[in-house]
Amino acid sequence: MLRAARDFSDRRAELWPDVHVEHLQVHNRGAGWAEVTEGNPWPIGFVWERLRYDWNEDGCLKGTVLDSNIFKPGSTWELRCSAREGGGRESRSQRFATFAASRAELSPHFSHSASHGARSLTIYATS
């Protein structure tokens, strides 16, 4: 899963259905990091973010928002993968995001609680 998260080729849209290749731009990359702009349509319109992805920590990929039309810079997204006792792997994704738009601007499109300040979303997947 981490290998797929570090794949910024045209194949990225196959691996991550919410990624649209026509809105994917790799600005720079190095050993253990990449700076990428990604965007896709949301119910509120086209959403994009420029992230610095970092995978220097073993078992972890972290994206930090540098610029976006919806998230404030410094918001993060993290994917962690580890071996499970008894075999298989466990993956966990977490997003800590602060919306750049005001609650009034977002409220027609999201619930009140989802448009208020920083939010954390945790997704667990096992295989």
97 vs 68: which has the higher pLDDT: 68
> End-to-end CA distance of the chain, in Å?
11
Residue 13 confidence class, pLDDT cut points 50, 70, 90: confident
- 5, 12 Cβ separation under 8 angstroms: no
Q: What is the pLDDT of residue 41?
A: 87
Q: Which fold has domain 2-126?
A: Alpha-D-Glucose-1,6-Bisphosphate; Chain A, domain 4 (3.30.530)
pTM: 0.72
Alpha helices (runs of H) in the chain, residue ranges in sequence order: 2-5, 12-15, 103-106
Per residue in 14-33, pLDDT tens?
888 888 888 999 999 999 99
CB proximity list for 87: less than 8 A, separation 6 or greater? none
